[in-house]
């Protein structure tokens, strides 16, 4: 099928590359001409496992191309996926101006009927507004537009795996034609009728995918409800962690036992610095605002948000108690991205942590495998180590802020010898307290006995 993708950010780029890998002919466009230039030069602007090989392979095989000509791009596809950003406004609402601009673009540039698919995360009833906007902007053409919602469930760091081997595909439609077209789009993925370029150990072929057809409103609600529930699990684990510290329990033992119950499950029950990134905080805010607009007080989610906002300050208090005075101290920070296997620092707890340490007068040297270049643009005043050992050298304290797996297998004897004071504060409960004590470290974490 011929597919257009509007927006080459994280969702759009992964969507375009994966649909091309599934055998479709895909054209991607973005208003950022620098980004399109990078992609046409074979450079991937985001850090995402396997994405580079997907883009390179499908560009070479002529199934994927990038253009700055947005009009050409929307005319090229029978189906247009909208993958533009919907950042939060100051009041917590989603900014839908980019969606509106794309609707105007599509309605004025196309010459044939199109199926327009929301891939961006949007508030419920956006599909209805999108259909109305297409009708208004395209009233002179007389063309008919079908609209569908197809929310993404991509985890940064494993987006390619999630797209090519999803646990569910949600198709929100209100007519049979739109449903038929989207089923055709996803048939190769549902039937495994394509040569998956990712190693089977990464993309397990046995994973079963359910294709769920809903109304457009339900599809839009599913995305926000899913992300808000994941945020709830994280904040619940953090609240339990605080209780464990007060009562002498071990949060890892508590949450592990909870997760063994299949009704609960182990995922996202991890205590630490809290959730970040561009999705969960934004989607929780938008869901709260959505409820307010229809007269419902979603107090549960406001508490989830409140617990999350407290995590950085609680961690800074741990650092202050351990150091007594933060001002003038050298603090090494391991991790800047909001989670491992990405370079994304949007709404990143480690970035907020570094800013608070700087505000208290600390000297910070940080290291992250993928996110240092992006961080330099927002935190040029801190030092950057070429590796974790340089970040730890001469430090009065070493902080683990992102759970990159390699941080758990560092040469801790070498780090112990290089630090001014062998003090480690683990914001992600990545390390074993007994091991760190054996190595001679003063070690602090969340919800576990020191």
pLDDT tens for 167-207 read 999 999 999 999 999 999 999 999 887 777 665 555 555 56
So what's the pLDDT on residue 309? Answer: 95
- Distance CA(87)–CA(84), nearest Å, equals 10
So what's the pLDDT on residue 195? Answer: 72
Percent of the residues in the chain that have a pLDDT greater than 70, as a whole number = 97
- Distance CA(58)–CA(314), nearest Å, equals 47
Instruction: Say if 144 falls within a structural domain.
Output: yes
* Residue 150, number of CB atoms within 10 A of its CB: 23
So what's the pLDDT on residue 200? Answer: 55
Structural domain boundaries enclosing 361: 311-444
Among 90-99, 124-133, 320-329, 369-378, the range scoring the smallest mean pLDDT is 90-99
Q: Where are the alpha helices (DSSP H) in 248-298?
A: 251-259, 280-293
Burial of 134 by CB count in 10 Å (0-12 exposed, 13-18 middle, 19+ buried)? Answer: buried
Residues 292 and 338 in one domain: no
pLDDT in tens, 393-431: 999 999 999 999 999 999 999 999 999 999 999 999 999
pLDDT band at 255 (very low <50, low <70, confident <90, very high): very high
pLDDT in tens, 307-322: 999 999 999 999 999 9
pTM: 0.91
pLDDT band at 266 (very low <50, low <70, confident <90, very high): very high
Instruction: Say if 365 falls within a structural domain.
Output: yes
Instruction: Say if 427 falls within a structural domain.
Output: yes
Residues 102 and 168 in one domain: yes
pLDDT above 70 (res 244) = yes
pLDDT above 70 (res 218) = yes
> For position 273, which CATH number holds?
1.10.1040.10
Whole-number Cα distances in Å, 176 to 70, 113, 173, 189: 28, 15, 8, 20
So what's the pLDDT on residue 88? Answer: 87
Residues 116 and 183 in one domain: yes
Catalytic position from the list 8, 18, 83, 279: 279
pLDDT above 80 (res 351) = yes
So what's the pLDDT on residue 257? Answer: 97
pLDDT in tens, 28-73: 999 999 999 999 999 999 999 999 999 999 999 999 999 999 999 9
Active site residue 244: no
Which residues contact residue 378 at a Cβ distance below 8 angstroms, ignoring those fewer than 6 apart? 345, 351
Among 281-285, 297-301, 361-365, 439-443, the range scoring the smallest mean pLDDT is 281-285
Name the domain boundary from 279, 304, 329: 304
Report the mean per-residue pLDDT for the chain. 94
Residues 260 and 114 in one domain: no
Residues 203 and 114 in one domain: yes
- Distance CA(300)–CA(192), nearest Å, equals 40
Instruction: Say if 335 falls within a structural domain.
Output: yes
Instruction: Say if 373 falls within a structural domain.
Output: yes
So what's the pLDDT on residue 142? Answer: 83
pLDDT above 80 (res 107) = yes
């Amino acid at each position: 099928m011929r597919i257009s993708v509007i927006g080459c950010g994280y969702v759009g780029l992964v969507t375009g590359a994966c649909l091309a890998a599934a055998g479709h002919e895909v054209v991607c466009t973005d208003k950022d001409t620098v980004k399109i230039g990078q992609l046409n030069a074979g450079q991937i602007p985001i850090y995402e496992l396997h994405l580079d090989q997907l883009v390179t392979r499908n560009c070479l095989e002529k199934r994927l191309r990038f253009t700055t000509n947005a009009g050409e791009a929307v005319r090229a596809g029978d189906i247009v996926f909208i993958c533009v950003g919907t950042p939060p406004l100051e009041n917590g609402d989603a900014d839908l101006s980019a969606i509106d601009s794309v609707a105007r673009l599509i309605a004025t540039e196309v010459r044939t009927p199109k199926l327009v698919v929301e891939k961006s995360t949007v508030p419920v009833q956006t599909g209805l507004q999108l259909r109305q906007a297409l009708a208004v902007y395209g009233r002179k053409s007389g063309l008919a537009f079908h609209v569908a919602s197809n929310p993404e469930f991509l985890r940064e760091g494993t987006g390619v795996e999630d797209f090519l081997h999803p646990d569910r595909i949600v198709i929100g439609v209100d007519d049979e034609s739109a449903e038929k077209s989207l089923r055709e789009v996803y048939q190769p993925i549902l039937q495994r009728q394509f040569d998956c370029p990712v190693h089977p150990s990464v993309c397990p072929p046995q994973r079963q995918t359910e294709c769920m057809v809903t109304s457009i409103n339900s599809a839009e609600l599913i995305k926000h409800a899913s992300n808000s529930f994941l945020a709830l699990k994280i904040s619940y684990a953090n609240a339990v962690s605080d209780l464990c510290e007060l009562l002498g329990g071990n949060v890892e033992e508590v949450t592990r036992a909870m997760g063994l119950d299949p009704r609960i499950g182990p995922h996202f029950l991890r205590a630490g610095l809290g959730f970040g990134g561009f999705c969960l905080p934004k989607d929780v805010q938008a869901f709260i605002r959505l409820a307010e607009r229809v007269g419902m007080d979603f107090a549960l989610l406001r508490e989830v948000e409140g617990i999350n906002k407290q995590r950085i300050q609680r961690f800074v208090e741990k650092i202050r108690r351990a150091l007594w005075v933060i001002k003038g101290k050298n603090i090494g920070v391991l991790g800047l991205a909001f989670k491992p296997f990405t370079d994304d620092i949007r709404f990143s707890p480690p970035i907020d942590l570094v800013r608070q340490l700087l505000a208290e007068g600390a000297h910070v040297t940080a290291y992250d495998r993928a996110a240092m270049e992006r961080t330099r643009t927002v935190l040029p005043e801190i030092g950057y180590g070429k590796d974790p050992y340089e970040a730890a050298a001469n430090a009065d304290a070493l902080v683990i802020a992102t759970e990159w797996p390699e941080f758990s297998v560092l040469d801790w004897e070498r780090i112990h010898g290089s630090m001014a004071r062998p003090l480690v504060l683990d914001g992600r409960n990545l390390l074993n307290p007994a091991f760190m004590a054996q190595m001679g470290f003063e070690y602090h974490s969340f919800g576990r006995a020191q």
